[in-house]
Structure 1
Amino acid sequence: MLVLAHISDLHLDGTERATRRAERVRDLLWGLPGRVDALLVTGDIADHGTEDEYEEAARVLGLRDGGAPFPVLTCPGNHDSRAPYRKALLAEPAADGPVNSVHVFTDAAVLMCDSSIPGRDEGELDAQTYAWIEETLDDLDGDRPALLAFHHPPVALHHPPPLPKGRGRCPQPDAYRLGRPAALARLLERRPEIAGIVTGHAHTPAATTFAGRPLVVGPGVTWTLRLPWEGEQIADREAPPGLAFHVLDDEGRLTSHFRVAS
């Protein structure tokens, strides 16, 4: 059985508010009486994609001092910038290609995929990333189930896109979701070992399906999205930062639980 903590959309920007909200979630996770196997961070880690923001993220997430009690696995979002992300967060040489990584556990694997398009808000898994997913799963020989994690949900979450100019504005997440979802659906058809997908971006906890697999959207740390029936103000900045726990059991079934950091 694999137990994963999941946070998303920290939007660290150098302000005390953003840092403190991220630290509240970090403190809850670091203080758990039981151990989780890893922490997934599904993008928009920085707000402006600067090295300073990623250095702050590395400190908060315990990536430099060994402070994290379990592996911390990350992938970029649309607010992230690949070269500073690699240099200041991952301590790797700066480069502009997709930031993809895999972590193999005893009974499962997690593929952290880059769905960002530099300079754009919407997302896409490009040809290089799809090829990497296929090759990575081939290397696993189908011996263990796998989860895909990336930033942009591939389905509508029922928060409408912007209205035409002059009629008001209602942004994200549906206006900026994952492009070419049919390509992802075809991948899932070929790959029964993929047990589910986890994403971020929407700033609201959500659970649905995509191409017959579980799709779980993690809540946002920086603020929570109000859905249309909850009010006109889009961002609830007073809601406590959220997190999720995903359990992939021995039968390959994904179960998710949502919490807030008070």
Structure 2
Amino acid sequence: MLIAQLSDPHIDATRPEKAAAFARAVAHVQALPMRPDAVLITGDCTDHGQADEYDTFAALTAPLDMPVYVIPGNHDDRAAMLARYGHLGTGHLDGFLQYVVDDLPVRVIGLDTLLPGQGAGELDSARLDWLDARLSEQPQRPTLIFMHHPPLLSGLDIMDSIGLRGTQQLCDVVLQHPHVARVVAGHVHMALTAGFGNSTVMTCPGTDTTFQPDLSRPEILIVQYQPPLCLLHAWSEKTGLVSFTRVIDQTPWSVLHDGQGWMG
């Protein structure tokens, strides 16, 4: 099984370069030699939560010929996303875009961290109780949680000031469920990996750029723009869940070993 993760396209009618970058990311996923079983988009699908932006976002995801699962980010509009994507998955939490995907070898759970009107995110008791109940349903099954705001500190003051409220409470839930194999998120536009309870949290940069920050000066945001990335989460009985970082580009694929020997 392979799950591709894209994040933070920030579709904006006034900035066509954002849509063009997202189109390249979608084409990259479509061209992978192993076809993904699903695509996760971890929030900030649009920049202003406007109807025309969601129309563009939907048109750009249309070429993906596998299931696409989305959750809202702080730039999104929950009501607009519920109207378009409230049918996704099962086990929904009323009033939130939280749901379960049960038809993959790895169980996938989407969390809605949106806190309307704020850059920060939140997991309150209602959302966390729902998660605890869903995780309790299949305690032997490997599970991947996807969300927008990551439950970690980046080390950059400006990003951490709009981080996730309820991180410790989420960690307490995850600690009760050792079958949580991965927690994946977006928001920070950086590729970060950290321990989280008995699990691991990973963040996926935006589809247009990746930030490499200067962590020696956390009070200011100094970044170098780097090529955009996506994450690939692969699972098999042999390996468990392993994750790869992929540069989004058009470099052709080559065969290095044909199963019998190295290619010249």
Of 50, 63, 70, the residue aligned with 2:66 is: 70
Conservation of the 8 A alpha-carbon contact between 1:83 and 1:96: no
Residue 240 of structure 1 is matched in structure 2 by 227
Residue 175 of structure 1 is matched in structure 2 by 161
Residue 90 of structure 1 is matched in structure 2 by 85
Provide closer, same or farther for how the CA distance between residues 251 and 150 of structure 1 changes in structure 2, counting only shifts above 3 A.
farther
Instruction: Let me know the Cα RMSD of the aligned residues.
Output: 2.3
Residue 167 of structure 1 is matched in structure 2 by none
Residue 122 of structure 2 is matched in structure 1 by 124
Point out the more displaced range, 130-139 or 179-188. 130-139
Conservation of the 8 A alpha-carbon contact between 2:82 and 2:96: no
Residue 109 of structure 1 is matched in structure 2 by 107
* Distance (whole Å) between structure 2 residues aligned to residue 46 and residue 218 of structure 1: 16
* 1:177-199 deviations in Å (ceiling 9; x for gaps): 11121111110121122112001
Which residue identity is paired with 1:58?
A
Provide closer, same or farther for how the CA distance between residues 125 and 249 of structure 1 changes in structure 2, counting only shifts above 3 A.
farther
1:226 is paired with a residue whose SS is strand
Residue 246 of structure 2 is matched in structure 1 by 259
Q: What TM-score do you get using the length of structure 1 for normalisation? A: 0.84
Residue 252 of structure 2 is matched in structure 1 by none
Residue 166 of structure 1 is matched in structure 2 by none
Residue 183 of structure 2 is matched in structure 1 by 197
Which residue identity is paired with 1:120?
Q
Identity over aligned residues, as a percent? 30
Offset at 1:59? 0.9
**Runs of 4 or more off by more than 6 Å in structure 1?**
230-233
Provide closer, same or farther for how the CA distance between residues 233 and 179 of structure 1 changes in structure 2, counting only shifts above 3 A.
closer
**Residues 1:145 and 2:132 aligned together:** no
Provide closer, same or farther for how the CA distance between residues 259 and 106 of structure 1 changes in structure 2, counting only shifts above 3 A.
closer
Provide closer, same or farther for how the CA distance between residues 191 and 68 of structure 1 changes in structure 2, counting only shifts above 3 A.
same
Correspondence 1:216-235 to 2 at 5 A:
216-228=202-214, 234=222
Q: Which runs of 5+ in 2 are unaligned?
A: 88-92, 250-264
Provide closer, same or farther for how the CA distance between residues 213 and 143 of structure 1 changes in structure 2, counting only shifts above 3 A.
closer
* Distance (whole Å) between structure 2 residues aligned to residue 42 and residue 200 of structure 1: 6
Provide closer, same or farther for how the CA distance between residues 136 and 158 of structure 1 changes in structure 2, counting only shifts above 3 A.
same
Residue 34 of structure 2 is matched in structure 1 by 34
* Distance (whole Å) between structure 2 residues aligned to residue 152 and residue 158 of structure 1: 15
Aligned length: 241
Q: Which runs of 5+ in 1 are unaligned?
A: 162-170
Conservation of the 8 A alpha-carbon contact between 1:45 and 1:77: yes
Residue 17 of structure 1 is matched in structure 2 by 17
* Distance (whole Å) between structure 2 residues aligned to residue 216 and residue 151 of structure 1: 11
Conservation of the 8 A alpha-carbon contact between 1:225 and 1:234: no
**Residues 1:212 and 2:198 aligned together:** yes
